[in-house]
Amino acid sequence: MLKTDFESQKNRYRVFGNMALVVPKELDELEKPFSLHSPKPFEIRFQVPDLRVPIRDFLRTREVGEFLSGALAGAMTKAVLAPLETIRTRMVVGVGSKNITGSFIEIIEQQGWQGLWAGNGINMLRIIPTQAIELGTFECVKRTMTSAQEKWKQIEGPKFQIGHVNVNFSLSWVSPVAVAGAAAGIVSTLACHPLEVLKDRLTVSPDIYPSLSIAISKIYKDGGVGAFYAGLSPTLVGMLPYSTCYYFMYEKLKKSYCQSKKKKSLNRPEMLVVGALAGFTASTISFPLEVARKRLMVGALQGKCPPNMVAALAEVIRDEGLMGLYRGWGASCLKVMPASGITWMFYEAWKDILLVEKRIL
């Protein structure tokens, strides 16, 4: 018996000098050479989740469709109308000739045909995120405001009592389209203002800022990050009335026209005309603020930058009279009207292609 036990344990002895130790069976098993046929002590498996379906569903959402539609519409419109944008910017800030034909000839003589597309690279980089954010924000805020109004109508809104007077707070007087238009302008401006600064510098002073990389480096060197937000306050002041009026007029004109013709939606040519009229109205109302904004943004280049928008407006009136507030208005309308019409036409067309669900008017 003792011999048998000794034989069964002898392979588990380990000799260290004059001592012999018994190794536990579990440790002894670990010291055995690994073979392909021996069982693995443990195994960890990682399973990567399949993200194809969630990503596909996300890309098919209404918000993403509207975001992409705005980006594509803006890019296509800007590529066609870049020469008019160049002429308009030069006239607004007072560079060169004071009429459209003279500005066109000057650009051709000084920079060649490619001068008409000066700054168009940054223009495309600017317009894609700007239009995507602007139109996406407009649609989202409009739906949210409309839904909030409907809910408040059902619950009749909050009521307050001051003495013997009952006060009902209601959202019925607020226009969802006007609020959405204002929000769209503010959000897109805050997000994309540095690109607007770069575009203006490349357009107005191509000799000082011959390329995008040089413009970025020089602006940062001269004023740091804050230089890319130069003129932000007047830009917001000018953008607010324009954006509010622009979207409000488009929706109002579209709704009125559809009701008069007893139809549910506009066709493509009708979108072109309605969008152009909306852009014309908004541009006419807010153009003096646009003139002041441009003067403030590029005033530093000419060594005379007004301290604020009111001072800029006063300077224009003093130097050029009241008509100076609308200097470049013709070129602006020539650019804004087709741009607005084409943008809405392309935007609605891309929405019909990209959105899974049909557009709800």
| Domain presence at residue 63 | no
* Helix/strand/coil for 172: coil
| Domain presence at residue 312 | yes
DSSP structure class, residue 46: -
What pLDDT does residue 360 have?
Answer: 44
Q: What is the mean pLDDT of the chain?
A: 78
The mean pLDDT of 121-135, rounded to a whole number, is 86
What pLDDT does residue 43 have?
Answer: 59
| Contact of 87 with 331, CB cutoff 8 Å | yes
What pLDDT does residue 250 have?
Answer: 95
The mean pLDDT of 62-82, rounded to a whole number, is 87
DSSP string, 258-306: HHHHT-SS--HHHHHHHHHHHHHHHHHHHHHHHHHHHHHHHGGGGT---
| Domain presence at residue 142 | no
For residue 268, give every residue at least 6 positions away whose Cβ sits within 8 Å of its Cβ, in sequence order, or none: 345, 348, 349
φ and ψ at 207, to 5 degrees? -75, -35
Lowest mean pLDDT among 101-105, 218-222, 276-280, 345-349: 101-105
Helix 309-320, helix 268-298: angle, nearest 10: 90
Kindly tell me if the per-residue pLDDT of 361 is higher than 50. Answer: no
What pLDDT does residue 270 have?
Answer: 92
Query: pLDDT-derived band of residue 298, with 50, 70 and 90 as boundaries?
Result: low
- What percent of the chain has a predicted confidence (pLDDT) above 70? 74
Report the chain's terminal Cα–Cα distance, integer Å: 96
Query: pLDDT-derived band of residue 29, with 50, 70 and 90 as boundaries?
Result: low
Q: Please state the domain count of the chain.
A: 1
What pLDDT does residue 161 have?
Answer: 65
The mean pLDDT of 107-115, rounded to a whole number, is 81
C-beta neighbour count of 86 within 10 angstroms: 26
For residue 132, give every residue at least 6 positions away whose Cβ sits within 8 Å of its Cβ, in sequence order, or none: 67, 68, 70, 71, 74
| Domain presence at residue 341 | no
Domain range for 314 is: 235-327
| Domain presence at residue 161 | no
Kindly tell me if the per-residue pLDDT of 94 is higher than 90. Answer: no
DSSP string, 112-132: -GGGGGTTHHHHHHHHHHHHH
Kindly tell me if the per-residue pLDDT of 34 is higher than 60. Answer: no
Kindly tell me if the per-residue pLDDT of 3 is higher than 50. Answer: no
The whole model's pTM is what? 0.70
Query: pLDDT-derived band of residue 22, with 50, 70 and 90 as boundaries?
Result: low
| Contact of 130 with 188, CB cutoff 8 Å | yes
Long-range contacts of 303-306 (CB under 8 A, 24+ apart): none
For residue 17, give every residue at least 6 positions away whose Cβ sits within 8 Å of its Cβ, in sequence order, or none: none
What pLDDT does residue 301 have?
Answer: 56
Query: pLDDT-derived band of residue 51, with 50, 70 and 90 as boundaries?
Result: confident
| Domain presence at residue 320 | yes
Kindly tell me if the per-residue pLDDT of 354 is higher than 90. Answer: no
| Contact of 123 with 82, CB cutoff 8 Å | yes
| Domain presence at residue 301 | yes
In whole angstroms, give the CA distance from residue 98 to residue 89: 11
* Amino acid making up residue 187: V
Query: pLDDT per residue over 156-182, tens digit each?
Result: 666 666 666 666 666 677 889 999 999
Strand pairing partners for 20?
15
